[in-house]
Amino acid sequence: MSGFMRRHIFALVLLVLIIGLSCGWAVGTATTCVSASCHFDASLFGAWGSWIGGIATAGATIAAAAAFKSERADRRAKWASRRAEIAATARTCVLRAQAISLAPDGYRRVKIQFDNNTKFDVTDLAVYLEDGSLLDRDDQVNPGHNWAEKHRASTFQSNHTLGHDRVLAAETIRSVILPSLTFEFTIATTRFRRRGTELTELGLISA
């Protein structure tokens, strides 16, 4: 059975049933019996044709409505699947950071980086500091590419360095600096905001 038949089997069965009942009614009506003598009333043939035409039109309308409902359900299912895929992709979009520029008094800079390991273009990227001021932005990062910016350690904390110990510097970045940053980005017209491990969908934007 074809996909169309499976989707519209109820409407098709209903249509056949209506036509069958109509034919029976029409034949019964068109046959006139007087006493014991029965004959076919040819004058009712035109009415029979009009009736069958009306039933066929009604059946076609029912079938078209069923097809429209099925196609709309298919579109909604595809859109829901697409949105779920985009949301799952957004959860993989995270900022990374590392201490760089080791000086006699310790690591003086932090490199903030985003690696696009998805199959989508990630557009309109923006990173905000804890006070809401803009730190960095970029228009687009294509799949397989990355975006990185370097900043003084004092941008994120009162100290001018992160100390000499790379492990402790990495822990400061992980526990203090990265959680204080807000990362906004767009995937396929859907805008997202990430802060730490929390991801928020901000809604659709104009294409």
3-state secondary structure of 89: helix
Q: Give yes or no: residues 100 and 187 share one domain.
A: yes
Per the structure, how many domains does the chain have?
Answer: 2
Residue 122: its pLDDT value, please? 96
Same domain assignment for residues 123 and 195: yes
pTM of the complete model: 0.66
Residues 102 and 196 grouped into a single domain: yes
Q: What's residue 97's pLDDT?
A: 95
Do 64 and 85 belong together in one domain? yes
Say if residue 81 is in the same domain as residue 131: no
User: What distance in Å separates the CA atoms of residue 2 and residue 4, rounded to the nearest whole number?
Assistant: 5
- Token pair of 207 as six digits: 């294409």
Q: Which residues of the chain register pLDDT less than 70?
A: 1-55, 207
Name beta bridge partners: 32. Answer: 39
Does residue 150 share a domain with residue 108? yes
Based on the domain organization, do 84 and 24 belong to the same domain? yes
Residues 6+ apart with CB under 8 A from 57: none
Q: Are residues 130 and 198 in the same domain?
A: yes
104 and 194 fall within a common domain = yes
Q: Determine the pLDDT at residue 116.
A: 95
Q: Quickly list DSSP for 107-168.
A: EEEEEEEEE--SSS-EEEEEEE-TTS-EEEEEEEE-TT-EEEEEEEGGGTSSSS---S-HHH
According to the model, what pLDDT value does residue 61 have? 78
The reported pLDDT for the residue numbered 60 is 74
pLDDT for the residue numbered 118: 93
Asked if 124 and 22 sit in the same domain, the reply is no
CATH number, domain with residue 140:
2.60.40
Full domain range(s) for residue 190:
92-204
Q: In terms of domains, do 97 and 198 share one? A: yes
User: What does the pLDDT read at residue 66?
Assistant: 76
Tens of pLDDT, residue by residue over 1-44, are 555 555 555 566 566 656 665 665 555 555 555 555 555 555 55
Amino acid 22: pLDDT: 61
Asked if 181 and 124 sit in the same domain, the reply is yes
